C-alpha cells in the first residue's frame, strides 16, 4: 500500500515476518547490492538516502529495520510503524518503508 511517505507493507503477522526475513538478507549484500519490492528498489549503501522509489541504507540498518518489523508482527511494537518513526536514521528518509498488521488485534484490543 502506498502512503504519502513511501510504501507500507500490509499483512498478517506471518506475512510480515516472511518479508522481514527477506529484508534481513539485504544485510548480507555488499554496498551496491539491491532487491526489488513492488516497484521500489531497496539498496545497500554506505549512508542512508532515498529518492523516488529507491531506499538506500547501510547493511546494519536493513537488519534493524527487519527486526523492528518483526517486533510489530509479534506485538512488541505498535502499528502501523514507519521506519522513520523509530528514530534510527537522521535525517529522516524522504521515501520510507513501513508495516501495518491487518486482521490482528492491537494491545489495546482495537483492530
Looking from the CA of 43 toward its CB, the CA atoms found within 13 Å total 18
pLDDT digits (tens, 9 = 90+) for 61-98: 999 999 999 999 999 999 989 999 888 888 889 989 99
Ordered alpha helix ranges (H), the chain: 13-24, 59-73
CA–CA dist 40, 7 (Å, integer) = 8
pLDDT digits (tens, 9 = 90+) for 7-44: 899 999 999 999 999 999 999 999 999 999 888 999 99
The residue assigned the cell 529518492 is 51
Amino acid at each position: 500500500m502506498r502512503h504519502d511517505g513511501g510504501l507500507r507493507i500490509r499483512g498478517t503477522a506471518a506475512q510480515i515476518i516472511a518479508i522481514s526475513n527477506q529484508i534481513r538478507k539485504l544485510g548480507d549484500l555488499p554496498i551496491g547490492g539491491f532487491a526489488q519490492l513492488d516497484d521500489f528498489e531497496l539498496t545497500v549503501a554506505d549512508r542512508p538516502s532515498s529518492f523516488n522509489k529507491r531506499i538506500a541504507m547501510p547493511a546494519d540498518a536493513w537488519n534493524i529495520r527487519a527486526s523492528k518489523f518483526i517486533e510489530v508482527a509479534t506485538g512488541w511494537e505498535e502499528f502501523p510503524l514507519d521506519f522513520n518513526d523509530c528514530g534510527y536514521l537522521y535525517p529522516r528518509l524522504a521515501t520510507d518503508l513501513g508495516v501495518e498488521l491487518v486482521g490482528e488485534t492491537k494491545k489495546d484490543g482495537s483492530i
